[in-house]
Amino acid sequence: MFTALSTQRYLKHMRSHRYLYYILLGNCRRWPLTYSQFDNATMATSATKRCLSTSPIREPSVGQMDVGSRIKRVSIEGNIAVGKSTFARLLQKAGQDWEVIPEPVSKWQNVEGTSQTSASNLLDMMYADTPRWSYTFQTFSLLSRLRTQLQPPPAQLLHSSDTPVQVYERSVYSDRYIFALTMFQLGCINATEWAVYQDWHSFLLEQFGRLVQLEGIIYLRAPPETCMTRLGMRGREEEKGVKLDYLQKLHSQHESWLIDKTTVLHSEKLKQLPVLVLDAGVGFEKDPKVQEMLITQVKGFFKSI
């Protein structure tokens, strides 16, 4: 629990970081105060306690911090329709000490509106008018991924006797170095927007870097033509206009980042992350032997990082 003193220190820190204040504000659905009202320490202490009691961000116990510090964090990276969701479900079934966190697609499809407006499908808006909505989408995508990666681990991981692993379907890093970068190179995000996005991204990782940093990456690799076929098979309405040349561009970005190591990264540690490359071009969805082979490789990778 937060004491009055620790809460006041927390708020003093938050006042010096307005961006972080607004991020936490988004998590506190019943926050009753405006920013200017934070000068009243008594009101702020009471409001913060109420917010923290309903927010998923909680202060862990000493034992939880010890376990949390040994949780390994790994992301699954790969092209659109490469098979990430199918592979993620496979991993979830294979390890009791593994938690697989899906990509927050539903949040992009249902951005909450105000009392005057209905919810918006930002994913559909981005594909329908990419130059208009790319920057908005990438900013919201980054924020939703950050929130996902900042969620506290579930009880089964905190009480795990083995080494627990959290696996994310993509990460805040691919958001920048694959998708936002591609939109900038295609001219859908202009130079000013790209500069603002990078500054925003770097600032957030400076503040939360230790909490979202990865120990490894699983790269599901498949030809863009295979991804295009799978894209048509899954039939997601928003993606009906996606073309092969876009998937080819995304494939090249993944290769530059994870294979050739030529992407300019903001962090030296990120450059040195171990990468497990898996052949996702094979039909692993219904082949138990292929699935077993992939899981064996993943288990070995988790032990090595």
Query: Which position has the higher pLDDT, 6 or 162?
Result: 162
pLDDT of residue 131: 96
Nearest to 243 by CA among 228, 255, 226: 228
Query: Which position has the higher pLDDT, 41 or 142?
Result: 142
Rounded distance between C-alpha atoms, residue 168 and residue 218, angstroms? 10
The tokens of 39 are what? 């000068």
* Residue 98: C-alpha distances to residues 27, 88, 91, 121, 218 (Å): 25, 10, 8, 31, 14
DSSP 36: G
Q: State yes or no: pLDDT of 49 exceeds 70.
A: no
Nearest to 224 by CA among 123, 75, 78: 78
Q: pTM higher than 0.75, yes or no?
A: yes
Q: Are 246 and 187 in contact (CB under 8 A)?
A: no
Stretch 178-207: mean pLDDT, rounded? Answer: 96
Confidence label for 116 from pLDDT (cuts 50, 70 and 90) = low
Rounded distance between C-alpha atoms, residue 142 and residue 148, angstroms? 10
pLDDT of residue 96: 78
Q: Are 122 and 133 in contact (CB under 8 A)?
A: yes
For 260-296, letters b (16+ CB in 10 Å) and e give eeebeeeeeebeebeebebebeeebeeeeeebeebbe
Q: State yes or no: pLDDT of 59 exceeds 50.
A: no
Rounded distance between C-alpha atoms, residue 231 and residue 161, angstroms? 39
pLDDT of residue 45: 36
Q: State yes or no: pLDDT of 65 exceeds 70.
A: no
% of the chain exceeding 90 in pLDDT: 57
Q: State yes or no: pLDDT of 160 exceeds 90.
A: no
pLDDT of residue 66: 45
pLDDT of residue 184: 98
Query: Which position has the higher pLDDT, 218 or 49?
Result: 218
- Mean pLDDT over all residues of the chain? 80
Stretch 272-290: mean pLDDT, rounded? Answer: 91
- Known catalytic residue at 169: yes
The tokens of 66 are what? 């010890």
Beta bridge partners of 277: 219
Spot the catalytic one: 99, 103, 169, 193: 169
Stretch 209-228: mean pLDDT, rounded? Answer: 94
Rounded distance between C-alpha atoms, residue 271 and residue 230, angstroms? 30
Q: State yes or no: pLDDT of 22 exceeds 60.
A: no
Query: Which position has the higher pLDDT, 2 or 279?
Result: 279
pLDDT of residue 202: 93
User: Using CB atoms within 10 A of its CB, is residue 83 exposed (0-12), middle (13-18) or buried (19+)?
Assistant: buried
When mean pLDDT is compared across 25-39, 207-221, 243-257, the lowest value belongs to 25-39
Confidence label for 26 from pLDDT (cuts 50, 70 and 90) = very low
pLDDT of residue 52: 34
Rounded distance between C-alpha atoms, residue 121 and residue 117, angstroms? 12
Give the number of other CB atoms < 10 A from CB of residue 163: 13
Length of the chain: 305
Rounded distance between C-alpha atoms, residue 152 and residue 50, angstroms? 18
Stretch 266-289: mean pLDDT, rounded? Answer: 90
Q: Are 74 and 167 in contact (CB under 8 A)?
A: yes
Q: State yes or no: pLDDT of 298 exceeds 90.
A: yes
pLDDT of residue 114: 57
